[in-house]
Structure 1
Amino acid sequence: MSYRLSVRALCEFTAKAGDLDLRFTPSPTAIEGIAGHQTVTRRRSPGYERELPLEGSCGSLLVRGRADGYDPAANRLEEIKTHRGELSRQPANHRALHWAQAKVYGWLLCQARGLARIELALVYFDVSSQRETLLLEQHDAETLRQFFERCCQGFLAWAEEELAHRRRRDAGLDALAFPYSSFREGQRQLAEAVYKATCTGTHLLAQAPTGLGKTLATLFPQLKAMPAQALDKVFFLTAKGPGRQLALDALATMDAPLRVLELLARDKRCEHPDKACHGEACPLARGFYDRLPAARAQAAGVALLDREGLRAVALHHQVCPYYLAQEMARWADVVVADYNYYFDQSALLHGLTQANGWRVGVLVDEAHNLLERARGMYSAALDQRAFADLRRTAPAPLKKALDKLQRQWNRLNREQAGDYQVDPALPDALLLALQQFVTAVGDYLNEQPAGLSPGLQAAWFDALAFIRLAESFAEHSLFERTLLSAPGASRRSRLCLRNLLPAPFLASRFAQARACVLFSATLTPQRYHADTLGLPGNHVWLEVTSPFRAAQLQVRIARHVSTRYADRQASLAPIADLLAEQFAQRPGNYLAFFSSFDYLEQVAARLAAAHPAVPCWKQTRGMDEAARQVFLARFAPGGRGIGFAVLGGAFGEGIDLPGERLIGAFVATLGLPQVNPTNEHIRTRLQALFGAGYDYTYLYPGMQKVVQAAGRVIRTPEDSGVLHLIDDRFAESRVRRLLPSWWQVD
């Protein structure tokens, strides 16, 4: 059995040394990189060969890759690197890594074509100036062979251990038994569907009731399928922190030799948030690559690299925990992470999957959240006020770029007729000024070991995100301009590239996986999620049989109440009376959901005035974690009262209050998003694309929140409770079709 790896992976493992240094970053975008490579290769002679597939072996290693280009007439192999800024400021270990890649490709080509000598070239292409810098070295084949074999020898011991681990892992997964004596009702149905999807290489959209045990029912079958399907990794992706912990807990119940890694955001991993990421500023970046091999070896022996487990290893070896976690993503069997690690435009896990040719299984928890999260991933905004404020404190080398940016921005403002405007095309002059600002900041950063001020760094990152999304601007997005101040010399605006439809971006992510399983309690209707997320046409739909009985949940519609905005004032008294009447009939703990904090406050005030004996407590704006825990602690077994919350907020999903902790809920809204210019543009665009603009923009997202909130009541087969849907529209047939099929509505 051979161990396969890419040329880049081999060189990164064996040739990286010295400090972690991010000053010569960020690199050009993927689109800029591709365009840069194309520009360079178009300049070459007609006989120039592009993207040469090469491979070679050393012991049990099979090394593969694609060399950027080869000129047979000059006998020159080129390794092309795009960059931005002064090349003289490039860290030496970056250059050493690039030469290592060129030398490995050089040997593979000499071996493939029987060449005795070859000229190697590093071609650095500046995407801003469109200039090439050429660095040349002459090498004979024997020297390159020796270099290649030294690299391979540096990896062989690790490869042998990785192969041994893979054999142990696969044998353990073949023998793995379900960690409990039996499946819950409906759990086996979901598990069988996940196993079949993974084995057949199809994608699954699975709607399964809350409380079923979906985390275990998806992880277990995909892990069981790993050996036969030769899966390299399983990615369990979540929208929120509690989902990650549920996955880690489920994995802890499985008796198999797995390496499990939890990926966290940089701000949750960083030990020195006040320091820049390079050796002159941060002690954990200094000598990072020199200490990485020992840290990596120890981490590979830890079964669960959660937040504390990985931090302990990192600090023991004095390396950065965040970047050690990124390294260990290459060697883990299961990675538990946020959606963005696979679906974002610069996603780590997706990039590694592409670069290494991994076969991966992807599990997407609470997938009803993916649409809005993905829209955010592929949107970007710029606030002119932040850039104007920077002018006063910006370093002198940046003032010229900031001034030019402000001039172009002000010109755009003067042309704007109303406070809000959507343009069909992007302003080229402003984008050019924005690019020049990004380049200027990059050049400045390379010269300043202390890094950037928080405000300047935030503006730089915002500008980079905007430029990257501007490259792919199309009908899936809007370009919005919103004036933020009155007309005059200081008129300012906010620019937004707002994604409406992430499907064009996500489709490639789904295609990269052997099988994606998207699961949630609220994925109805199927077509809505397939259209907006970009699932392939041959995906499979499953609605899991509920383990709950209709008798467990009394569902009542308050047809005499309208919660439409115009009817809010008239609805206060009937809603307060309904809450009090239900509480009198069966005292206990209830949740009441409303469309806004204002509405919540008004109903709570009416209840307190008309029915002061009913205890109540309220969600407030900006609640921190401690305050949320205090709110939830009121839902104790044997407790009595009504908790008031906002639909779609912190208490609308992801909380577990089984048994007497919660015996009922009131939902006084359909949860419809606000009608505003942005949402109306979304409605118009989705109507043109799918013929369902209103449903896709308002009705389906709103009803998802309703069903999620209602799902807090019945958590186990032993629970019972009541649900009041407060609005006459809940009685409409098109709305009732979106309610769970096991509900029996009175």
Structure 2
Amino acid sequence: MSAAVGPALSAVAEPACGQHRPAEAASGQPAPPPEPAAGLGAGEEAGAAALLRVAVRELCEFTAKAGDLDLRFTPSPTAQEGIAGHAVVVGRRGAGYLAEVPLRGRYHELQVSGRADGYDPAAGVLEEIKTHRGDLARLPDNHRRLHWAQLRIYGWLLCAERGLAGITLALVYFDIASQRETVFREQADAATLQAFFDEHCRRFIAWARQEAAHRAGRDAALAALRFPHAEFRPGQRALAEAAYRAARDGRCLMAEATTGIGKTLGTLFPLLKAMPTQKLDRLFFLSAKTPGRQLALDALDQLGAQWSASRPRVLEHIARDKACEHPDKACHGDSCPLARGFYDRLPAAREAALRTARLDRATLRQLAAAHGLCPYYLAQELCRWADVVVCDYNYYFDAGALLHGLAQVREWRVALLVDEAHNLVERGRAMYSAVLEPRDFDLARKLAPATLKTPLRQLQRQWSALAREHAEASHCVLAQPPAQLLDALQQAVAAVGEQLAEQPEGIAPELLRFHFDMLRFCRLAEDAGEHSFFDLEPRAAAGGRVQARVGLRNLLPAPFLGPRLRGAHCAVLFSATLQPAHYHADLLGLPADHARITVESPFRAGQLDVRVIADLSTRYQHRQRSLPGLVGLMAAQFARRPGNYLAFFSSHDYLRQAHEAFAAAWPQVPAWAQVPGMDEAARAAFLARFREGGRGIGFAVLGGAFGEGIDLPGERLVGAFIATLGLPQINPLNEEMRRRLQAMFGAGYDYAYLYPGLQKVVQAAGRVIRTPQDRGCVHLIDDRYWQPAVRGLLPAWWKVARCRAAEVGRPGSADAACGDGGSGG
């Protein structure tokens, strides 16, 4: 098959659906046209250079930010609190007051636009409203300078539009806790404001021109992009064409394709090709785990070999705890040297970074060190200018996600690639769940200052009362939200917030952490509905007291994830295990018009010997009894074909028992085991033992770090033993999930237990066959695998046979021992 771009990829794209349209302002005035990211050419005006557009906020963040990175003036008001605060201030103004005033102006080919918060024509006062909580004197000076810069830019735009000789500028700070306004005013004449405006535009326009040139060069490079191999892998072209159509049509695509066909490259290539024709600003590659990010970076390297100077900028954004160079220090200039003068050194670092096309974790760390900057917050800044961002799911799907926020504010047209999308169900649930631990509260309360004793004591009373009410239960789901506890939490959050605002240095880290736990819990509780429930786990404490862990559990992430998917121009969710399709569509909130594709497997049934070991049970009550047969089965298969194997178990405890039994019975066979809490280095060492020509068995937990997202082709892995169906434990939480999903979708057991379990099994088995040349075996160890409902969830290309553990490895049994019937799966 030729690597030339096929018809579906080379066709001229049709106008895309689902383009963002800005909502009308609260004042009822029509919204201004969308403002693309700065530096992007937005067409030609008659006889003029290509028009460049930038929002006032973005302009000032680029030109007026200076000084330290300082996160002490926190927690800042939420977006909802900010909107409410603006409404309060506007409601206090007179009848002729204008809110959300659209303004725009020009400096050469740069068009600057935005919305001023409020204008009183009668008094000649233009206002910029900022919400806060606590002592305003603690607001860092560089924040104030940024706010004044925005107000002065708006001041010139208003003077120019209305022909004013001067104006009164008012910077209004509104404390959401006390509802008090603090107002700073200055008189400004039009000439002074114009000079201020011109100076900031002059400093920005060179950057905007550079970015426009980069965008043109990037799009030209992507238009000329060719597939990096002589041929597509079988099935890879069909996947690529479906992904391109999704980008062309502005749709969401759910794509199931067998592990090993090159899904990462097969989806990145067409979406990069679509960026110029669909005028896409950014491509976000979202992954659940580190190996997925690395596969994306490797695929981008393959594609990038074709590019010269003009190429997309690729950024890897990692978690703060993995990027932080000084975890013992706070994020402000008085504590961390990398925060001191951060914005003063940022411009030089930004210039250097954007001359580097591939900003992976190591490169970014080196760059940050060279400029004395925090690598995590440097990556956050560079997200504004990177074309492709490779990162974790949470940077787009979490409640306060950075990338989603940038896309909304800057009105980017974005494409999403969601890697191993079957993981998004559980990850989405986790993003919108919260837990409060009594031991964390006890420690926070002991370290709290005297001013917080009363609200924390009230919280303790309500919490203890709830625990005593349910003391007889080991774990229970609450029939109603715990209203009194939530009220006490809100009061405690407000009290700690005020303390933070007044005396931030006097707050112990343990109290600060619990404050954010409470804040998260309260915010999620505000959105609680049928998609979530509260649970309680009572525990006996010292002195005869009863304590309880309190949880708010999300079971249906669709109401939260669905809007994020619909907010993108297009989204491609891909995985080897997206069956049944309706399960993922229901739980993830896919749009009703989403497209689906199941790519035919390039592998043959003869490549993979799949056997159900029907005389062993791995149910909890049978595990001890299963060990001798399980150990004998593994040893027999190893003797039959020495090589590298993975053995998967339902828990660390079962894994430990099996590993110890195997090592005792067969000490001559190398065996190594996953342990809880392995860091990246330990995981890499575990995988390093799977080398060509190696021999041994690695013991791992199903659904863990080694059950998916790892690539062990050829002789690096020749087989797998899966001693579990992967079904979640039966407990009050999962049973409540089953009941609610039954009511919602009529398939509670399948949605809560069967489908999630079998997904893990298929993912783990997918480690064995990675290329059309691989051959291997998978042993499914449990009698339940032979049930029709279970076999129906196994890949269609598998030929599944049933046999007994003792028959594996018996002379002459290579084919006949398992020949008592087969199934196409």
Pairwise TM-score range, normalised by the shorter structure: over 0.9
* Cα distance change on mapping 1:484 and 1:47 into 2, 3 Å: farther
Report the Cα offset of residue 511 of structure 1.
1.9
One-letter amino acid of the structure 2 residue matched with residue 171 of structure 1: A
| Alignment partner, residue 532 of structure 1 | 587
Query: Aligned equivalents of 1:38 and 1:294: distance in 2?
Result: 39
Mapped contact 2:737–2:748 kept (Cα < 8 A): yes
Mapped contact 1:5–1:356 kept (Cα < 8 A): no
Query: Aligned equivalents of 2:529 and 2:515: distance in 1?
Result: 24
Higher mean displacement: 218-227 or 49-58: 49-58
Query: Aligned equivalents of 1:325 and 1:611: distance in 2?
Result: 50
| Alignment partner, residue 100 of structure 1 | 149
Higher mean displacement: 530-539 or 459-468: 459-468
| Alignment partner, residue 91 of structure 2 | 42
What are structure 1's unaligned runs of at least 5 residues?
none
| Alignment partner, residue 388 of structure 2 | 334
Mapped contact 1:341–1:347 kept (Cα < 8 A): yes
Query: Aligned equivalents of 2:538 and 2:427: distance in 1?
Result: 26
One-letter amino acid of the structure 2 residue matched with residue 283 of structure 1: P
Higher mean displacement: 132-141 or 712-721: 132-141
| Counterpart selection for 2:553 from 474, 498, 503 | 498
Q: Deviations over 1:228-259 (max 9, x none)?
A: 11111111111111211221122122223121
Tell whether 2:616 aligns with 1:561: yes
Query: Aligned equivalents of 2:320 and 2:441: distance in 1?
Result: 24
One-letter amino acid of the structure 2 residue matched with residue 639 of structure 1: G
| Alignment partner, residue 150 of structure 1 | 199
Report the Cα offset of residue 352 of structure 1.
0.6
Tell whether 2:337 aligns with 1:288: no
Mapped contact 1:281–1:450 kept (Cα < 8 A): no
| Alignment partner, residue 4 of structure 1 | 53
Query: Aligned equivalents of 1:607 and 1:251: distance in 2?
Result: 42
Higher mean displacement: 262-271 or 429-438: 429-438
| Alignment partner, residue 40 of structure 2 | none
Higher mean displacement: 114-123 or 153-162: 114-123
Report the Cα offset of residue 728 of structure 1.
2.4
| Alignment partner, residue 414 of structure 2 | 360
Q: Deviations over 1:134-193 (max 9, x none)?
A: 333343444333322222112111101111111111111111121222211111111111
Higher mean displacement: 634-643 or 94-103: 634-643
Query: Aligned equivalents of 1:737 and 1:52: distance in 2?
Result: 60
Cα-Cα RMSD: 2.3
| Alignment partner, residue 297 of structure 1 | 351
Mapped contact 2:476–2:732 kept (Cα < 8 A): no
* Cα distance change on mapping 1:430 and 1:110 into 2, 3 Å: farther
| Alignment partner, residue 476 of structure 1 | 531
| Counterpart selection for 2:650 from 580, 590, 595 | 595
| Alignment partner, residue 63 of structure 1 | 112
Q: Deviations over 1:537-560 (max 9, x none)?
A: 111111112221111111122233
Q: Deviations over 1:388-436 (max 9, x none)?
A: 1233333444444433432332333344354333335444544444344
| Alignment partner, residue 132 of structure 1 | 181
| Counterpart selection for 1:698 from 753, 769, 775 | 753
Query: Aligned equivalents of 1:609 and 1:385: distance in 2?
Result: 40
Secondary structure of 2:540's partner? Answer: coil
Report the Cα offset of residue 451 of structure 1.
7.3
Report the Cα offset of residue 487 of structure 1.
8.9
Q: Deviations over 1:631-677 (max 9, x none)?
A: 33433333333332221122211222221222111212111000100
Higher mean displacement: 580-589 or 485-494: 485-494
Mapped contact 2:471–2:538 kept (Cα < 8 A): no
Tell whether 2:639 aligns with 1:584: yes
| Counterpart selection for 1:26 from 75, 92, 95 | 75
| Alignment partner, residue 407 of structure 1 | 461
One-letter amino acid of the structure 1 residue matched with residue 150 of structure 2: Q
Report the Cα offset of residue 585 of structure 1.
2.7
| Counterpart selection for 1:176 from 207, 225, 229 | 225
Mapped contact 1:81–1:123 kept (Cα < 8 A): yes
Q: Kindly report which structure 2 residues correspond to 1:118-129, keeping only aligned pairs within 5 A, or say none.
A: 118-129=167-178
Report the Cα offset of residue 224 of structure 1.
1.0
Report the Cα offset of residue 55 of structure 1.
2.6
Higher mean displacement: 488-497 or 665-674: 488-497
Q: Normalization by structure 2: what TM-score?
A: 0.86
Query: Aligned equivalents of 1:652 and 1:638: distance in 2?
Result: 22
| Counterpart selection for 1:269 from 319, 323, 327 | 323
* Cα distance change on mapping 1:616 and 1:41 into 2, 3 Å: same
Q: Kindly report which structure 2 residues correspond to 1:290-329, keeping only aligned pairs within 5 A, or say none.
A: 290-329=344-383
* Cα distance change on mapping 1:299 and 1:587 into 2, 3 Å: closer
One-letter amino acid of the structure 2 residue matched with residue 12 of structure 1: E
* Cα distance change on mapping 1:127 and 1:490 into 2, 3 Å: farther
One-letter amino acid of the structure 2 residue matched with residue 65 of structure 1: G
Q: Deviations over 1:301-342 (max 9, x none)?
A: 111112222222222222222221111111111111111111
Query: Aligned equivalents of 2:663 and 2:145: distance in 1?
Result: 71
Query: Aligned equivalents of 2:459 and 2:452: distance in 1?
Result: 11
* Cα distance change on mapping 1:623 and 1:23 into 2, 3 Å: closer
Report the Cα offset of residue 452 of structure 1.
4.9
Mapped contact 2:447–2:508 kept (Cα < 8 A): no
Query: Aligned equivalents of 2:537 and 2:530: distance in 1?
Result: 20
Q: Kindly report which structure 2 residues correspond to 1:200-215, keeping only aligned pairs within 5 A, or say none.
A: 200-215=249-264
Tell whether 2:698 aligns with 1:643: yes
Mapped contact 2:462–2:485 kept (Cα < 8 A): yes
Q: Deviations over 1:471-490 (max 9, x none)?
A: 22222111222222259664
| Counterpart selection for 1:520 from 565, 568, 575 | 575
Query: Aligned equivalents of 1:449 and 1:674: distance in 2?
Result: 43
One-letter amino acid of the structure 1 residue matched with residue 567 of structure 2: Q
Tell whether 2:287 aligns with 1:238: yes
Percent of paired sites with the same residue:
65
Q: Deviations over 1:183-238 (max 9, x none)?
A: 11111111111111111111111111111111111111111111111111111111
Higher mean displacement: 14-23 or 157-166: 14-23
| Alignment partner, residue 622 of structure 1 | 677
Tell whether 2:662 aligns with 1:662: no
| Counterpart selection for 2:781 from 726, 729, 736 | 726
Q: Deviations over 1:551-597 (max 9, x none)?
A: 11111222333322333344334333333333333232222222123
One-letter amino acid of the structure 2 residue matched with residue 589 of structure 1: N
Higher mean displacement: 179-188 or 581-590: 581-590
| Alignment partner, residue 562 of structure 2 | 507
Tell whether 2:680 aligns with 1:680: no
Query: Aligned equivalents of 1:73 and 1:481: distance in 2?
Result: 58
| Counterpart selection for 1:743 from 798, 804, 812 | 798
Mapped contact 2:117–2:128 kept (Cα < 8 A): yes
* Cα distance change on mapping 1:312 and 1:451 into 2, 3 Å: farther
Report the Cα offset of residue 500 of structure 1.
1.2
Tell whether 2:548 aligns with 1:548: no
Secondary structure of 1:182's partner? Answer: coil
| Alignment partner, residue 391 of structure 1 | 445
Q: How many residues align?
A: 746
Higher mean displacement: 716-725 or 443-452: 443-452
Higher mean displacement: 194-203 or 489-498: 489-498
| Counterpart selection for 2:687 from 628, 632, 635 | 632
One-letter amino acid of the structure 1 residue matched with residue 706 of structure 2: F
Report the Cα offset of residue 14 of structure 1.
1.1
Mapped contact 2:236–2:261 kept (Cα < 8 A): yes
Q: Normalization by structure 1: what TM-score?
A: 0.95
| Alignment partner, residue 81 of structure 1 | 130
Query: Aligned equivalents of 1:274 and 1:587: distance in 2?
Result: 49
